[in-house]
Amino acid sequence: MKETHTPLADAIRPKIIDDLVGQTDLLSNDGLFGRMIKNKTFKSLIFWGPPGVGKTTAARLLGDISEAIYTEVSAIYSTVSELRKVFSEAKVNKNEHNVKTILFVDEIHRFNKAQQDSFLPHIEDGTIVLFGATTENPSFSLNPALLSRLAIAEFKRLDRNSLRNLIKKVDAYLGKRIPLTPSGVEAVISFADGDGRRLINILEELTTSDKQIDDVQIEKILQRKVHYHDKSGDGHYNLISALHKSIRGSDCDAALYWLARLISAGEDKNYILRRLTRIAYEDIGLADYDAVRICLDSWSAYRKLGSPEGDLAIGQAVVYLSLAPKSISIYSAFNDAMKIVNTNETHPPPASLVNTNNRKIKDLGYGKYYRYDPDFENSFSGQEFFPDKMNPRSFYKPVERGFEREMKKRLEYYSSLRNKINEKKVKKI
């Protein structure tokens, strides 16, 4: 057995690109990395994927193949002055020695907008080739200007076969087999949950054992399954998206599963409740106006009870929302109104609707023809509230579900009254 003075994960890190476990889509001849290696053309990339899948290793190996100067910085620790120094040295290497510089930035999503923007001129003039690694969806975490200049290399979580191959690599490095029964192997793979680094760390804990380890013993050693979930990363968005869409699809059982996944992973309960309240407005709306109240009541209960007692209140809200009648009528109506405002010329309110607390404003004729609705039959005057130069629009279109059936009746009632009043006006003319 070889003596190691470094973490096992670093000790068995691949030395050539072909030894990288998984990511066959990227490494194939037609894949992004395969084409770059074949053509000897290395462009700026975002290495996007969960932890422990080989992003940093791949960047280093591509750097070796490129024969460029390879430099690493971390967005967590690096300062603006350090970046400037890298840019300055890269410019000298390019202009005086005709040598490219590949700059690898780990956790690039942690840089703010100004810091991300600082890369743009140096990418544009070829001073650097940027390799940025992130666990977060680049669409959310990177500036559009920077993202438009980068290709995306998406790294997948390691499948079970890839993790089995990784176990074999560890065995080969150690010079002996880790004493795992077949069920123990499968348990370790399940516990790793697609994360190669986590797998290696688990195996490192088991190297001193001289007894066969099965799945039951693995559970005792590791206590429970650790799900992959980066609270600020892509796993976070994937799980909450799965919860949202399960509720939207009226599948309360699937919704409860995704809720359990989120809670098990340590998600902020207030974030979950905030999202549930959003769902109540976005996907249910007035089809069930109790949905919002249920969410707010559950939120209040959670704040008073805490975990784990308050978790049940969240589960109750999830089930209620899942089985509530769905309507996006309000969501669509609001978005349509915003679209009209943002894409068309705006007009002032009709003179009749302008506030006339000031006498001088009254003297100009503002408010003169305003009709106070409570003074009219049915508390309805039928006056026009859209701008004078804008044709009235119909934004809200209720569906025949839940309480919106009643809202549809009310809408039709007031539309009928308005039509009758307008007909009388036409007859008078």
**pLDDT tens digits in sequence order for the chain, 429 residues long:** 445 467 888 888 988 898 898 898 999 989 999 999 998 889 999 999 888 899 999 999 999 999 899 999 999 888 888 889 999 999 999 999 889 999 999 999 989 888 899 999 999 999 999 999 998 888 878 999 999 999 999 998 898 899 999 999 998 888 888 889 888 888 888 888 788 998 998 898 888 777 888 888 887 777 654 444 444 454 667 889 999 999 999 999 999 999 998 888 778 888 899 999 999 999 999 999 899 999 999 999 998 888 788 899 999 999 999 999 999 999 999 999 988 888 877 788 888 777 766 666 676 677 777 888 898 888 888 888 888 888 888 899 998 999 999 999 999 999 899 888 877 765 665
- Residue 11 located in a structural domain: no
429 by Cβ neighbours in 10 Å (0-12 / 13-18 / 19+) ranks as exposed
- Residue 297 located in a structural domain: yes
- The whole-number pLDDT of residue 236 equals 63
Question: Cβ neighbours of residue 342 under 8 Å, at least 6 residues apart?
Answer: none
- Residue 81 located in a structural domain: yes
Name the domain boundary from 154, 179, 210. Answer: 154
Same domain? For 363 and 255 the reply is: no
- Residue 181 located in a structural domain: yes
Same domain? For 317 and 379 the reply is: no
Cis peptide before 308 (omega within 30 of 0): yes
Same domain? For 75 and 122 the reply is: yes
Same domain? For 303 and 422 the reply is: no
* Sequence letter at residue 346: T
* Alpha-helix residue ranges (DSSP H) falling in 80-180: 80-97, 113-117, 120-124, 138-141, 144-147, 160-174
- Residue 333 located in a structural domain: no
Name the domain boundary from 222, 247, 267. Answer: 222
* Sequence letter at residue 247: I
- Using an 8 Å Cβ cutoff, are 187 and 15 in contact? no
- Residue 200 located in a structural domain: yes
Same domain? For 306 and 374 the reply is: no
Q: For residue 410, give the CATH number of its domain.
A: 1.10.3710
- The whole-number pLDDT of residue 32 equals 93
Chain Cα centroid distance, residue 287:
28
Instruction: Return d(Cα 419, Cα 406) in angstroms, integer.
Output: 20
Same domain? For 131 and 36 the reply is: yes
Same domain? For 273 and 245 the reply is: yes
Q: For residue 259, give the CATH number of its domain.
A: 1.20.272.10
- Closest to 108 (Cα-Cα) out of 159, 153, 67: 153
- The whole-number pLDDT of residue 34 equals 92
147 by Cβ neighbours in 10 Å (0-12 / 13-18 / 19+) ranks as middle
Instruction: Return d(Cα 259, Cα 45) in angstroms, integer.
Output: 34
| Count of the separate structural domains present in the chain | 4
Name the domain boundary from 105, 137, 154. Answer: 154
- Residue 286 located in a structural domain: yes
Q: Which helix (H) or strand (E) holds 72?
A: strand 69-74
- Residue 355 located in a structural domain: yes
Q: What is the DSSP string of 247-272?
A: HHTT-HHHHHHHHHHHHHTT--HHHH
Same domain? For 189 and 257 the reply is: no
- The whole-number pLDDT of residue 429 equals 54
| Full residue range of the structural domain in which residue 398 is found | 347-428
- Using an 8 Å Cβ cutoff, are 233 and 199 in contact? no
Same domain? For 32 and 150 the reply is: yes
Same domain? For 209 and 255 the reply is: no
Q: For residue 195, give the CATH number of its domain.
A: 1.10.8.60
Same domain? For 310 and 215 the reply is: no
Q: What is the DSSP string of 91-112?
A: HHHHHHH---EEEEEETGGGS-
Same domain? For 207 and 110 the reply is: no
